[in-house]
Amino acid sequence: MASSRRLQKELSDLKSCGVKAYESVEYNESNLLHWTVLLIPDKEPYNKGAFKVNIDFPADYPFKPPKITLATKIYHPNIDDKGQVCLPIVDPNNWKPATRTEQGGDDGSAGPDSRTGTRSSTQSGLGRGVQQGPKEIQQNRRGIHQKARREATRINYPCRSWDMAGDGAEEMVVLVTGGTGLVGKAIEQIVKSEDRAGEKWLFIGSKDCDLTDLQATRKNERFTYINGYFRRLFEDVRPTHVIHLAAMVGGLFHNLAHNLEFFRRNMAINDNVLAMCHEFDVVKCVSCLSTCIFPDKTTYPIDETMVHLGPPHDSNFGYSYAKRMIDVLNRGYSQDYGRKYTSVIPCNVFGPHDNYNLQSAHVLPALIHKTYIAKKEGKPLEETSDPLYLLRSIECCSLQEVDPIILSVSEEDEVTIADAVKAIVKAFDFQGEVKFDTTKADGQLKKTASNAKLKKYLPDFRFTPFEEAVKASVDWFVQNHESARV
């Protein structure tokens, strides 16, 4: 085949190219797709060592680049934890079929349009970007290797990054999907306000990465991504923990009109995130579900054992079934691979940075927006629903089990839509008329949830009082109306 003929020609050229390192190329005549090479760098700080390198060629070489992996343990900015060499020349987006193994410049820094070779780039790359010798690098792994990774992350992604790792501790890297939304912003505020030494947090939104597509397209400009290139995100960030908040979300009428789209997009997002967590050995992934996943016809209070005991409400079955599948995926990864990925089920979260669009928002932000308009224009406030809703607050906690946990106030603290309207009217100091339109669809009428499991893990936890939370949300919306999601 073409790859064998090309590799035979390259081996012949190597033997006559005068490169000492290639005097020890090991390969099997029956399988030329795998080479083992001993590299002996001639530049500090690695010039006193020898490094065993595996080069694996794809079957359709030279149209796709080889994979270069160092078998010798080394800590270097261009080499990941598994020894894989990360250089522009072997990036699939930069690779040129004309590139040959023995070609190359002396500094290993040529751009994607050069004819720099894979061996030359790897060998000379060992002499760049590092100011310490191998011994010191091993003693201070984070000092060079992790700092280089953090710097690459800052360059590659326009997401918000809060780096709180000290130079002496092992780093916990937390990737937050959906990090620009309501819950993500709340977590970001906590991270910014607390001293969380040894942790690095990255918050990504839909503009940073398209989580529905593992191989999303990438711009030709280096490090600039269209929709993300999802697998590359995990390769570069290497998270140890993931908080998975990303989802296609919407209110009652938005769900009613787009159930299939809600199901397909959320299934793709959830499957991709959990698959990447497993592939990149993420220690803990905590996903965010919703009480809408519970059966429509059920007994109360609902608890974590009842998730799959019947179909959800017809109004949002697409979103509900997709969210249920996170629990199925968590169980599967636990059973097959021993993973301890889990999920939390908050009840009606609301607050700053929520979606306040009147066509797609949930009930509380929609009510806040309606009241804002009513007060500004002097019109009556109309509310179209009469189901029971719970206090909307969330506390993300780490669990050592796979089964989900409900984050809810106690049953006696449940509030009605009328209660919510009164709290919002009070927060706005709205003096106008309030009308309830009972002709519109209601959705699920009741979702009384048990928080017994939450109390077991966090017996002293207290949610923000409802009226206080509403007032804070109203104040934020008034101050940020022009930039809010409306």
Strands 284-288 and 199-204, by their bridges, are: unpaired
Binned at pLDDT 50, 70 and 90, residue 274 comes out as: very high
Confidence of residue 352 (pLDDT cuts 50, 70, 90): low
pLDDT at residue 327 is higher than 70: yes
Give the per-residue pLDDT at 21. Answer: 53
pLDDT at 257 over 80: yes
Calpha distance 438→445 (Å, rounded): 13
In this predicted structure, what is the pLDDT of residue 45? 60
pLDDT of res. 419: 78
DSSP 203: E
14: pLDDT strictly greater than 80? no
For residues 319-348, give the mean pLDDT.
90
Residue 347 annotated in active site: no
What is the predicted pLDDT for the residue at 243? 92
| Domain locations along the chain | 1-90, 172-483
pLDDT score for 142: 40
- Tokens of residue 352, six digits: 């700053």
Q: What is the mean pLDDT of the chain?
A: 70
Tokens of 157: 């992604």
Domain 1-90 CATH superfamily: Ubiquitin Conjugating Enzyme (3.10.110.10)
Amino acid at 141: R
Residue-level pLDDT at 472: 78
Q: Given 86, 277, 292, 347, which residue is catalytic? A: 86
| 146 against 29, higher pLDDT | 29
Cis omega before residue 134 (within 30°)? no
| Position 420 confidence tier, pLDDT thresholds 50, 70, 90 | confident
Class of the CATH domain delimited by 172-483:
alpha beta
Q: Per the structure block, which two tokens stand in for 222? A: 């280096």
How many beta carbons lie within 10 A of that of residue 330, not counting itself? 23
CA-to-CA dists, residue 439 to 54, 78, 357, 367, 384, angstroms: 70, 63, 21, 17, 7
Residue 105 has pLDDT above 60, yes or no: no
Q: Which two tokens stand for residue 155?
A: 């360059």
Q: What is the mean pLDDT of residues 49-60?
A: 82
* pLDDT at 245 > cutoff 80: yes
pLDDT mean over 106-124: 42
Confidence of residue 408 (pLDDT cuts 50, 70, 90): low
The listed range with the strongest mean pLDDT (99-103, 383-387, 406-410, 449-453) is 449-453
CA-based nearest residue to 200, from 256, 253, 153 = 153
- Answer whether 183's CB lies under 8 Å from 362's CB: no
**Which range is least confidently modeled, 35-44, 209-218, 251-260, 381-390?**
381-390
Residues near 402 by beta carbon (within 8 Å), at least 6 away in sequence: 330, 331, 334, 340, 341, 342
Sheet with 342-346, edge to edge strand ranges: 160-163, 199-204, 172-177, 241-244, 284-288, 342-346, 405-407
Region 443-459: mean pLDDT is: 70
* Most confident region among 61-70, 175-184, 317-326, 371-380 by mean pLDDT: 317-326
Provide Rg for the chain, Cα atoms: 27
Residue 389: which pLDDT band, with cuts at 50, 70 and 90?
A: very low
**Distance between CA atoms of residues 270 and 283, nearest Å:** 17
Q: Are strands 172-177 and 199-204 parallel, antiparallel or unpaired?
A: parallel
Whether residue 218 contacts residue 225, with contact meaning beta carbons closer than 8 Å, is answered with yes
Closest CA to 370 of 481, 213, 287, 281: 481
For residue 241, give the H/E element and its range. strand 241-244
